[in-house]
């Protein structure tokens, strides 16, 4: 596993205790433990913006030892960041100009879960998803019903479309240009964690595909697709083109490969291979990425094309790493449908 640039390697709090020499030790430690965290809790999340989210999770965990609070706190940080155009307030709107958010949360013990799809005007869908899990007999609420529930629970209604996103949306409406898939216009935070006692939990939150059809819901709030947590085995989360994840129950598949004994990284990679085979298109055209964490604290990630950055934090360590990448060349097949053996 290759490590990304070390910019912003340490959080401010960590910086205070770690001088240059200590930071060098931590980097070396991270390299030698690239796939297994030497201490718990461990938080793993998607993209570079997962780093501050993991650190918020870590801070919250230190306060009260609640893994669920920690997962929620990390994701809330990303949702509140208006400069992030793919999650929460400041996210890119649907084609009709409304920001529609998707989120879910899952707690390992008892396989408890909550989810919201296409919710409007509520800044923290992850917290609404948690309220669905804890305060209703249901698992998923969508659209107007989800908003009505949130308002009933005391969440504030606010306009989530920032001036900049309104301007960009208007320009897009004029040009109707197809957007490239990438970190700028199509991302998601999936954040999974393991507590000191081995409890697993995770969450996922997104504004979905930029300028999507109004009402389109992606993989992120769908349990087993954008996120899955199995308290006996591990957790997985997804980011990328939801349509290419949700047809395959991608995160569930990653967890099932871990159950069969694959490492988190190999489980993510094998899921990508299988999806590519079934889909039939070249893997580079799928634009999907997975993160995974198992019960032993091992972690990993894999993405199509060049792969993607993902963030990992455990005690005394927080950084952005580069995932394993799977391109058509590395899979070694043209199109799909070749047996697994031929693809490795």
| Distance between CA atoms of residues 149 and 129, nearest Å | 10
Measured CA to CA, the distance from residue 337 to residue 192 in angstroms comes to 31
Single out the residue of 253, 237, 264 nearest to residue 105, CA to CA: 237
The one catalytic residue among 188, 199, 239, 304: 188
CB 344, min distance to ligand SD4, A: 27
299-304: strand order across its sheet: 227-230, 234-240, 288-294, 299-304, 324-326
CB atoms within 10 A of CB 41: 23
Active site residue 136: no
Contact positions vs ligand SD4 (CB under 6 A): 186-188, 206, 208-209, 218-220, 239-242
Nearer to ligand SD4, 161 or 209 (CB): 209
What would the two tokens of residue 177 be?
């240009």
C-beta of 118 vs 300, nearer to ligand SD4? 118
Distance, in Å, from the CA atom of 307 to the CA atom of 322, rounded to the nearest integer, reads: 7
Structure tokens at 318: 């927080």
Q: How many helices (H) and strands (E) does the chain have?
A: 12, 13
The residues that bridge with 202 in the sheet, in sequence order, are 106, 192
Q: Minimum Å distance from CB 239 to ligand SD4?
A: 4
CA atoms within 13 A on the CB side of 155: 24
Closer residue to ligand SD4 in complex, CB, 218/297? 218
Q: 195 or 320: whose CB is closer to ligand SD4?
A: 320
Q: Of the two residues 219 and 319, which places its CB atom closer to ligand SD4 in the complex?
A: 219
- Least distance from ligand SD4 to the Cβ atom of residue 250, Å: 10
- Identify the H or E element spanning 208: none
Q: In the complex, what is the shortest distance from the CB of residue 294 to ligand SD4, in angstroms, rounded to a whole number?
A: 22
**Smallest separation, CB 10 to ligand SD4 (Å):** 27
Residue-wise DSSP of 116-139: EEEEES-S-HHHHHHHHHHHSS-S
Q: Return the active site residues.
A: 188
């Amino acid at each position: 596993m290759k490590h990304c640039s070390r910019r912003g390697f340490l959080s401010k709090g960590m910086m205070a205790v770690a001088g240059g020499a200590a930071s060098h030790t931590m980097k070396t430690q991270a390299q030698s433990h690239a796939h297994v965290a030497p201490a718990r809790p461990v938080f793993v999340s998607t993209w570079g913006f997962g780093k501050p989210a993991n650190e918020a999770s870590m801070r919250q965990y230190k306060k009260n030892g609640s893994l669920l609070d920690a997962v929620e706190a990390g994701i809330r940080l990303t949702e509140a960041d208006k400069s992030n155009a793919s999650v929460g307030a400041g996210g890119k709107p649907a084609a009709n100009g409304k920001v529609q958010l998707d989120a879910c949360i899952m707690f390992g013990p008892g396989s408890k879960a909550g989810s919201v799809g296409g919710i409007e005007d509520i800044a923290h869908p992850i917290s609404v998803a948690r309220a669905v899990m804890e305060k209703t007999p249901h698992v998923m609420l969508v659209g107007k019903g989800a908003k009505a529930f949130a308002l009933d629970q005391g969440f504030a209604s606010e306009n989530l479309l920032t001036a900049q996103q309104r301007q960009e949306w208007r320009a897009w409406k004029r040009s109707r240009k197809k957007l490239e898939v990438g970190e700028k216009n199509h991302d998601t935070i999936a954040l999974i964690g393991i507590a000191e006692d081995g409890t697993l939990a995770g969450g996922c939150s997104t504004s979905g595909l930029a300028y999507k059809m109004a009402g389109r819901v992606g993989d992120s709030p769908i349990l087993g697709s954008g996120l899955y947590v199995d308290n006996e085995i591990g957790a997985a989360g997804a980011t990328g083109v939801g349509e290419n994840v949700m047809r395959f129950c991608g995160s569930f598949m990653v967890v099932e490969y871990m159950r069969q004994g694959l490492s988190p990284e190999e489980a993510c990679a094998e899921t990508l291979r299988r999806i590519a085979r079934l889909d039939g298109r070249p893997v580079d055209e799928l634009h999907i990425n997975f993160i995974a964490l198992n019960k032993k604290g091992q972690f990993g990630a894999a993405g199509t094309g060049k792969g993607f950055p993902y963030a990992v934090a455990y005690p005394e360590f927080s950084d952005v790493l580069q995932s394993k990448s799977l391109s058509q060349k590395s899979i070694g097949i043209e199109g799909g449908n070749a047996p697994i053996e031929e693809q490795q």
